[in-house]
Amino acid sequence: MRVYNFSAGPSMLPESVLKKAQAEFLDFEGSGMSVIEMSHRGKVFDGIAKKCEALFREIMGISDDYHVLFLQGGASQQFDAVPLNLMKTGKADYVVTGNFSGKAAKEGARYGDAKIIASSKDANFTYIPELKYEDFRTDADYVHITSNNTIFGTRYLDFPKTPTPLVCDMSSEILSREIDVNKFGLIYAGAQKNIAPAGLTIVIVRKDLAESSTPNCPTMLKYSTQANAESMYNTPPCFPIYMAMLVLEWIKSLGGVKEIQKINEYKAGLLYNFIDNSSYFKNSVRIKDRSIMNVPFVTPSEESDALFIKEAVQNGLVSLKGHRLVGGMRASIYNAMPVEGVKKLIEFMKAFELKNK
């Protein structure tokens, strides 16, 4: 029996996608080969990669002004790739709203003046700072934000208007809500939450920003290198690209990101509504900044937290343990988490509260 997997990543994938991949695993479309063993230079895989990119462009509304790159190294590698490509004058602005945006700023500081414009560290990252256009430097090369904070459960409802290109780590919410790509100079995302198995990193970069890089940028990290080679400069993560293609087909079949967003808002609304009306469970995030992907919560004690996590597993609700920086529990309710999974979690929470109050 499959469980409801609330892991923050790698996370669950749609069951229909897994079944299709299973059916095609030994022989993809009559090729006589599995995707995991075919050449990335061959016609068959070339068709997969091109279809995957076309679906990304269609579903996210990505214009020809942008490259779509299929890379490796995770979002963490982009913490370095971004300044090595874009920090040409040696200045960049960062907004720190959690662990990963903090890491990105720390890496940015290795290459130049990475100024932290605002941070919500003062309240343990339970809110998104209010930002004005005037807060940012006009002579910086870019502004870096993390749109959704996986660990602390916050997100930007609206994105800041900036005088320089906006760079965004969108790893834990890409494809979960409608985004105007044209507001960004660059978007990057690890795939292991809403797109595919771990191993694939998506970079959507405006073409003019990808034309050149800093003198010290390694060849492999240059966006121009990857763009000119159509993400095939070296062997790409073939199987995750194939899985991403299947997930994108699944999203399209449901009506696209617009319909996915409605489902995600409904799921999150159910869970937050229960927590807000509970005298036992608590979520500390400022209401308007709450993530619809990652919902952290606690009980009155660490002991009851541990008991909750243990009994949840026994009820087919797994990977609910919160990150070590926050503790408690965290329900990651990405695109593939069905409404039924959230409802089952709420029913378990109700029973647990009645028993342990």
Cα→Cα distances 237→8, 23, 190, 191, 219, Å: 21, 20, 12, 11, 18
Q: How many angstroms separate the CA atoms of 128 and 119, rounded?
A: 8
Average pLDDT score over residue span 251-272: 98
User: Which pLDDT tens digit goes with each residue over 46-59?
Assistant: 999 999 999 999 99
> What residues contact residue 245 under an 8 Å CB cut-off, 6+ apart?
48, 51, 52, 55
Delineate the domains of the chain, giving CATH numbers in brackets: 16-253 (3.40.640.10), 256-356 (3.90.1150.10)
Question: What residues pair up with 93 in beta bridges, in sequence order?
Answer: 115, 143
User: Which pLDDT tens digit goes with each residue over 134-144?
Assistant: 999 999 999 99
Average pLDDT score over residue span 224-249: 97
Q: How many angstroms separate the CA atoms of 214 and 221, rounded?
A: 11
Residue 256 predicted with pLDDT over 90: yes
Q: Considering only CA atoms, which of 39, 289, 29, 347 is closest in space to residue 153?
A: 289
Q: What is the pLDDT of residue 1?
A: 81
Separation of CA 244 from chain center: 13
Structure tokens at 149: 């904070």
Q: What is the pLDDT of residue 282?
A: 97
Q: What is the pLDDT of residue 62?
A: 98
Q: How many angstroms separate the CA atoms of 294 and 296, rounded?
A: 6
Average pLDDT score over residue span 141-160: 97
Task: Kindly write down the DSSP assignment for every residue of 280-349, as one continuous string.
Answer: S-B--S-GGGB-SSEEEEB-SSHHHHHHHHHHHHHTTEE--BPPTTT-SEEEE--TTS-HHHHHHHHHHH
Q: What is the pLDDT of residue 68?
A: 98
323-326 own/partner pairs: CB under 8 Å, 24+ apart: 323/8, 323/99, 323/150, 323/151, 323/296, 325/99, 325/151, 325/152, 326/124, 326/151, 326/152, 326/296
Q: Is 276 helix (H, G, I), strand (E, B) or coil?
A: helix
299-307 own/partner pairs: CB under 8 Å, 24+ apart: 299/328, 299/329, 299/356, 302/327, 304/356, 305/329, 307/356
User: Which pLDDT tens digit goes with each residue over 24-39?
Assistant: 999 999 999 999 999 9
Angle, alpha carbons 175-178-183 (nearest 5°): 105
User: Which pLDDT tens digit goes with each residue over 200-210?
Assistant: 999 999 999 99
Ramachandran area for residue 166 (φ above 0: left; ψ -120 to 50: alpha; else beta)? beta
Q: What is the pLDDT of residue 308?
A: 97
Q: How many angstroms separate the CA atoms of 112 and 95, rounded?
A: 16
Q: What is the pLDDT of residue 34?
A: 97
| pLDDT band per the 50, 70, 90 thresholds, residue 197 | very high
N- to C-terminal Cα separation, the chain: 31
Q: What is the pLDDT of residue 313?
A: 98
Q: Considering only CA atoms, which of 287, 284, 294 is closest in space to residue 264?
A: 294
> What residues contact residue 208 under an 8 Å CB cut-off, 6+ apart?
none
Structure tokens at 160: 């800041």
Average pLDDT score over residue span 206-221: 96
| pLDDT band per the 50, 70, 90 thresholds, residue 250 | very high
User: Which pLDDT tens digit goes with each residue over 338-352?
Assistant: 999 999 999 999 999
Structure tokens at 293: 């992907």
Q: What is the pLDDT of residue 357?
A: 80
Ramachandran area for residue 328 (φ above 0: left; ψ -120 to 50: alpha; else beta)? left
Other Cβ atoms closer than 10 A to 211: 11
| pLDDT band per the 50, 70, 90 thresholds, residue 154 | very high
Average pLDDT score over residue span 269-277: 98
Q: What is the pLDDT of residue 210?
A: 97
* Pairing outcome for strands 4-5 and 317-318: parallel
Q: What is the pLDDT of residue 30?
A: 95
Angle, alpha carbons 234-194-43 (nearest 5°): 35
H or E element, residue 113:
strand 113-119
Q: What is the pLDDT of residue 117?
A: 97
Residue 220 predicted with pLDDT over 90: yes
Q: What is the pLDDT of residue 325?
A: 87
How confident is the prediction for the chain on average, in pLDDT?
Answer: 97
